[in-house]
Amino acid sequence: MNKKNQVIELFTGYSYANKETQEMKANASVTLVKSENKIILVDTMTAWDKDVLLKQLKSYHVQPEDVNFLVCTHGHSDHCGNMNLFTNATHFLGSCVSFRHLYYYHDFEKNPYVLDNDVEVMFTPGHTSTCVSLIVKNSTAEKNGTIAIVGDLFEKEEDIFDDSLWIEAGTEMEKMQRQNRLKVAEIADFIVPGHGPKFKVTDEMIEKLRLDLHM
């Protein structure tokens, strides 16, 4: 059995809509994954959060140059605000994969992009047309469960029973997002959403997501 993949929530994202002022206060969840051979960071908050991010990484003994893969789940500013701190890492900006001026072609529709044993980047469009999620199997979660770190495929746990929360947060491809929400929930034991704490996937949630697809 491979060594377990350690998943650490560095920052818990949030979002609050203010209908009166037509504003949304939001920042993204940041997750650190220490797999067997690699250090992977998922999302980087806004450009104003450099110090918070560096401090959090340091508390887990990670320097920015130690990061091998930076996975920004999509190109919204609260998810990719600090990419230039991680110059030794291969960058994913959604499904766009690059290192310096080299851009790599990968057919995400066919296969996920494997980063290490039991760790892969999966194509999960919906919120934007190029969103990705990090799928971590054999994790440090209970029973070596699978953790999906999904950006804004799920806004927060509450959005499963209140669709307005993810739809009003913006969806470029609503039907596709519904399909990918179900697909991810079916393989994951836990989900780290873009703007809330990690939650456990229950049978009731999967049932609800299935019903949503047939609406």
**49 interacts with Zn ion by CB under 5 A:** no
Q: Are strands 23-27 and 147-149 parallel, antiparallel or unpaired?
A: unpaired
User: Closer CB to Zn ion, residue 28 or residue 121?
Assistant: 28
Residue 157 token pair: 């746990």
- What is the closest distance, in whole angstroms, from the C-beta atom of residue 110 to Zn ion in the complex? 27
- Exposed, middle or buried: residue 90 (CB in 10 Å: 0-12, 13-18, 19+)? buried
35 vs 153, which CB is nearer to Zn ion?
Answer: 153
Q: Which is nearer to Zn ion, 5 or 46 (CB)?
A: 46
Q: Which is nearer to Zn ion, 14 or 108 (CB)?
A: 14
| 2-31 binders of Zn ion (CB under 5 A) | 28
Shortest CB 201 distance to Zn ion, Å: 20
Taking the complex as a whole, how short is the minimal distance between the CB of residue 48 and Zn ion, in angstroms?
15
Stretch that binds Zn ion, among 41-49, 61-69, 95-103, 188-196 (CB under 5 A): 188-196
CB atoms within 10 A of CB 212: 15
Contacts of 37 (CB under 8 A, 6+ apart): 116, 117
> Which of 160, 194, 201, 205 is the binder for Zn ion (CB under 5 A)?
194
Nearby residues of 77 by Cβ (< 8 Å), 6 or more positions away: 46, 47
Please count the CA atoms within 13 angstroms of the CA of 181 that sit on its side-chain side.
32
Q: Return the residues of window 134-163 that contact Zn ion according to CB under 5 A.
A: 152
Nearer to Zn ion, 5 or 15 (CB): 15
**Residue 6 in 3-state DSSP?**
strand
- Report how far apart, in Å, the C-alpha atoms of 179 and of each of 39, 57, 137, 153, 166 are: 30, 34, 21, 10, 14
Query: Whole-number minimum distance, CB 2 to Zn ion, in Å?
Result: 31
Sole window of 38-46, 54-62, 132-140, 191-199 interacting with Zn ion (rule: CB under 5 A): 191-199
Size of the site for Zn ion (CB under 5 A): 3
Which residue, 118 or 166, has its beta carbon nearer to Zn ion? 166
Kind of pairing between the strands at 6-11 and 132-136: unpaired
H helices of 66-169, in order, are 164-167
Shortest spacing between CB 50 and Zn ion, in angstroms: 18
Interface residues toward Zn ion, by CB under 5 A:
28, 152, 194
